[in-house]
Structure 1
Amino acid sequence: MPLTLLIVDDEPLARLRLRALLAQIAQPEVQVLGEAADADSALRQLREAPADALLLDIGMPGRSGLTLASALRALPQTPAVVFVTAHAEHALQAFDLEAVDYLTKPVRLERLQAALQRVAQRLRPVSAPSPLAADLPVLVVHDRGRVLRLPLHEVLYLRAELKYVTLRTAGHSYVLDDALADLEQRLEALGAGFIRVHRNALVARRAVRALEYRTADDGAGRGEEGWAVRVAPADEWLAVSRRQLPAVREALASP
């Protein structure tokens, strides 16, 4: 679907220039719903036909563009705002009003396109972001002197073994300098959904596929008969201590 726009500027030539620039933009696809020469006219049009975004001048007769941007919050559907103005001194106030961008006249095509792309990303975020997306939560760890940022969705479990902690992902094992207690605090702060299954092990609840009574690695290289969880996709069994068993059962039974 195209990004719907309302152009708000008291100068007809400025509105005409914006239309000419918009006609040259292929991505994102845009549709101009209308034009307004002042804030009151813009609000009337928005109540009749909501738009995704405004290309909004600041200095206009009557209410300014800044005043209009503040009033937009009272609308049932608040449009994004890209300010387009000849004056640079209002930029800080504009961003206080959560403007997506602040363009100064004469507007360059590349800047206008970049602003509209940001509008599209804000209004229609990608439903399945890449695991490398910058806004995904990460766990910062120290692997034998290196500082690593590991996406939380890749971490299967962390287990203390002798003098170090092993962090396991589907494709790699990291030897960490961090203490397990410190890592647990970081995970709790991130709301990461990890379960303590043993005094020496934390497991991502989403990675647990089974809880069974069997022989499993106790973390010290010994087979230990008792309760254990199977962690996928690594397909490894980790021992569950008797002390942690009730909490593990409760965590796995909850939605």
Structure 2
Amino acid sequence: MPNAPLRILIVDDEPLARERLRTLLADLAPQLPNEVVGEAGNGLQALDCLRERTADVVLADIRMPGMDGIELASHLGRLVQPPALIFTTAYDNYAVQAFDLDAIDYLLKPVRAQRLLAALNKLPARRPEAALIDGLGRQLRGGGRRHLSCHERGRLLLVPVDEILYFRAELKYVTARTVDREYLLDESLTRLESEFAERFVRLHRAVLVARAALAGFEKAAGDDAEAYGWALLRGVPEKLPVSRRQWALARAAAGE
């Protein structure tokens, strides 16, 4: 529908900041018809909102508790209908140099009406590169993402990284295992190893394990072609293969 209003989701942990954006959008409505379809206090709440309704654009702060705006950006791109993203923040040292402003805009608080209008008129925008998102996220929070996402039966599921026992590469996908279940991720094992190097250690060309999940090791039988040894895990009965090359490194990571 060419005359349909622009659907906007506002994401900010400060109620006054959300209220200001609502007021600005109402003032801009004669020039750019828009509808605020929801508000959220962080990235987790934003993704919950987007499960119930669609948005054309998300206006998101960067520093927020629970899930910040940078991590939210990495999950938005996995939605069936990903909205464009515009950052609205008090900090001028994150996205200005990291993102091409023709692709995604970056508004400093206090946001001005005409600057917001100019940003909204750039839509639709391209998504930023995942590598830029991850790099900026590590600068912001001093580490990798707190959640990974996967599609299951048409839904976007979030998997807390601190609950993952191991990653295992299988064909085109990576399986993430928690105590309760497995999740199929559209991720690269190499990228996961780089992003979470402090939390996970490589056991095998196809396996990364959480250092905290390692319970011990045992040597494989001499005729076992699959592994040089096996890693024992806390919380699950499975054993993970350890290659000869990684044997000493894995045991050192477990403090043996």
Report the structure, 1 or 2, having the larger strand content: 1
TM-score class, shorter: 0.3 to 0.5
The structure that has the greater radius of gyration is 1
User: What TM-score results when the alignment is normalised by the length of structure 2?
Assistant: 0.45
